Each structure stands twice: as C-alpha cells, then as structure tokens.
Amino acid sequence: MTVAAKPSLASQPDGGTMRFPAGKSLRLDSGAKLEPVEIAYKTYGRLNETRTNAILVCHALTGDQHAGSVNPVTGRPGWWDRVIGPGLPLDPDRYFVIATNVIGGCMG
C-alpha cells in the first residue's frame, strides 16, 4: 500500500487548498459534523530553514485568502494589501505569511 505524502504549505509557493484527512470531521457546537473540510490558503514569502518566520493571518468573515494580492475571481485588491508586501510590516522578504479563507465566510 502506497501512502501519498501530505502537502506542505511551504511546498505550495502560491497557496492552494488544504483538505483535512478523510474521517477527520469538524464537530460543530450543535453536535453536527462537517466533512470533508477544505480550507483555501495563499502564501507570501518563503519559510526559512529553522521554520521560525511563519505568520498566520486570520480575519473576520468578510475576507478571503487573498489578503495581500488581487483576488483573481473578483478583481478586488487584497483586504490587507497595506500590511502585506515588500517594505510593509508583513514583508514577504522576511516572513512566510499564510492567509486562509474561513469556513462560513462570504468567499467560501
């Protein structure tokens, strides 16, 4: 039996979709289970060798994974493009920034 290697966020240069393993459901407060669970993400920068420069950007329900770049579907600028980018507080030349979509958010 061959087991496929799990994708690494660092190995996906622009982001993608992370699917939680089969059988790993998300239990809601109501007791219901949500499965399968997929989270879209976008990354900016590179993870360093010691893996100490990662920053996870979380947002309210109005954002999506395109925090520091134009959303290719809507054409809207990133909702944090004044914070994520070269020379900005979350500089991709210094940090590995991960921005995710949220379950139940307006973009998925």
pLDDT over 60 (residue 9): no
pLDDT over 60 (residue 21): yes
| Other residues' Cβ atoms within 10 Å of the Cβ of residue 45 | 21
pTM for the complete prediction? 0.74
**Region of poorest pLDDT, from 16-20, 22-26, 61-65, 104-108:** 104-108
**Contact by Cβ (8 Å): 44, 91:** no
Mapped onto helix, strand or coil, the DSSP state of residue 42 is strand
**Contact by Cβ (8 Å): 94, 45:** yes
Model confidence pLDDT, tens digit, residues 42-94: 999 999 999 999 999 987 656 788 889 888 888 988 888 899 999 999 999 99
Question: CA-to-CA distance for 83 and 21, rounded, in angstroms?
Answer: 33
What tokens does 77 get? 């600028």
